[in-house]
Amino acid sequence: MKTQDNITLENALHFDNTYTRELPADPESTNKVRQVINSCYSRVWPVKAGAPKLVACSREMAGEAGLSSELCESEEFVQVFSGNKVLSGMDPYAACYGGHQFGTWAGQLGDGRVINLGEIVNKEGRRWVLQLKGAGPTPYSRMGDGFAVLRSSVREFLCSEAMYHLGIPTTRALSLLTTGDHVIRDMFYNGNPQPEPGAIVCRTAPSFTRFGNFEILAWRGELDLLRRFTDYTIRTDFPHLGEPSKEVYGAWFDEVCRTTAEMIVHWLRTGFVHGVMNTDNMSVLGLTIDYGPYGWIEDYDPGWTPNTTDAQGRRYRFGNQAEIARWNLIQLANAIHPIIEEVKPLENALQTYSDHLRDTWQGMMAAKLGLAGFNKESDNELITDMQDLLQHVETDMTIFFRRLAALDVQGNDASISSSAYLIEHFSDAFYVTEQLNDEYRVRLRKWIDQYRLRLNHDRIPDDLRREKMNSVNPKYIFRNYIAQLAIDKAEQGDPSMVSELLEVLRNPYDEQPGKDELAKRRPEWARHRAGCAMLS
């Protein structure tokens, strides 16, 4: 099918499939669940969708791929990104990897419901892997069917793009389609499976290589392939490091540690909680990857996790993410040690992670507070006191920082230090007004006085401080209850809220007239409703 300007997907997408060209394939061609030995992937084709329909497309990601809006609205686009049509340049496959899940080695995992269509190179020379999530089973599907439902697909599509616009390193999403088929799922794992509308997300990233890609090869003792895969990764995704060698392996691991630290600090900046920080969900590019039971903390609680599976141990809680990332990096270090054969470079890189995380976090917190920079003599106490304050009553972190930016803290207006004034000013951020007792009111006033005193040292005008704070403290985050409202509509055949949210989340730091409802704290009805707080 040709568009008016005579461009089709076939000639708009330029494939250069280095992964399948340079790495060994599974010699078995049947699509059955099995252990895949001495191979990095298995070739597999998507299952045809019954009646696919486009729900949404990211115009930014489409532009990055070299696709016009006309192409994205074409029937050819629907057929290709539902898996119904495989273009001549594609070489579909599912990747083999392993991983530690909740701290325990799980063995072979792999792309259980993801089929990579291939790698494109855009006109600027940037490489993007295109993959379909929910397009059918692969040899790595284990007990699953390889399909995806609309509710999880809406969450993945919108969150990928929301994270990008928040400035958080992330994989991207090109498109969201319904398949016209139904998928049986037991949403609550209570023995009551129900049919749900099927969907497919086209995910994109320069690479989807995970810590687990290296772990599976080391665990199996496939050291020649481990070295070959590491060399491929460096040449393809880290060419600036030079030709692979023991020294370059160390430099590569050091860079992985640095970018992982930066990603974690962005999560902490915005209140994002991944929910499933298994090593198979950790990208060597420092990208947020795999959006399952994620969420943003609403009332500030370092112990919160969005994952019902993690409700007891809370391994992946908000306040533990930095430590878990380090633990995961240690597992990657263990995996690549056989090809480096030295411990010191790995230990040095892990120390780099800790140091870079601390320094980056301190700079980030200073920016959130509108300070000119981090002053270790005063700011550790200021930040610790603020974190204690936020936990004293249920306080929405996102709203708190926006309201903090709005304070006129300069001058000698005594009303700013009035407890009554401050309670009113921050009222939108409080979930339980009954908690606002005299003790809290005194603590809030004292902290604001402490904060104002610190700001006086910087002498930054209020309007400039406000502008700086609002550039790092978002007004709009993709709250779970808002996601659920969009899902409810989409499951009834109305995708309008998906489109509305995609538009609002493109500008998360801006005031957007008429959209304030989407910036409000979680309503009480959503506190315990399925999909609005924690998820499975």
CB-CB contact of 154 with 143 (8 Å):
no
* CA-based nearest residue to 72, from 49, 54, 88: 54
Contacts of 438 (CB under 8 A, 6+ apart): none
Query: Quick one: DSSP state of residue 522?
Result: P
Task: Check residue 69 and give its pLDDT.
Answer: 94
Catalogue the long-range contacts made by 339-346 (C-beta closer than 8 Å, 24 or more residues apart). Answer: 339/223, 339/226, 339/227, 339/230, 339/246, 339/249, 340/246, 340/249, 340/250, 340/253, 341/246, 342/246, 342/250, 345/249, 345/250, 345/253, 345/254, 346/250, 346/253
Task: Check residue 1 and give its pLDDT.
Answer: 44
How far, in Å, CA of 247 to CA of 399, rounded?
Answer: 46
Please classify residue 182 by burial: count the beta carbons closer than 10 Å to its beta carbon, then call 0-12 exposed, 13-18 middle and 19+ buried.
Answer: middle
How far, in Å, CA of 249 to CA of 341, rounded?
Answer: 11
Which residues of the chain, if any, have pLDDT below 50? 1-4
Read off the pLDDT of residues 400-441 as tens digits, 9 standing for 90 and up.
Answer: 999 999 998 876 666 777 899 999 999 999 999 999 999 999
**C-alpha pair distances (Å), 402 with each of 421, 441, 461, 468, 515:** 16, 19, 17, 11, 15
**87-115 b/e with 16+ CB inside 10 Å = b?**
bebbbbbbbbbbbbbeeeeeebbbbbbbb
Does residue 310 carry a catalytic annotation?
no
Q: Largest Cα–Cα distance of the chain, in whole Å?
A: 76
How far, in Å, CA of 229 to CA of 225, rounded?
Answer: 6
CB-CB contact of 25 with 39 (8 Å):
yes
Q: What angle do CA 361, 239, 355 make, to 5 degrees?
A: 20
Contacts of 3 (CB under 8 A, 6+ apart): 68, 70, 71, 74
Flag whether the pTM goes above 0.85. yes
Active-site residue (options: 111, 280, 299, 310): 280
Count of C-beta atoms within a 10 Å radius of residue 515: 16
**Residue 418 C-alpha from the chain's centroid:** 40
CB-CB contact of 232 with 23 (8 Å):
yes
CB-CB contact of 447 with 495 (8 Å):
no
Task: Check residue 528 and give its pLDDT.
Answer: 85
Task: Check residue 531 and give its pLDDT.
Answer: 84
**C-alpha pair distances (Å), 130 with each of 70, 152, 279:** 19, 19, 22
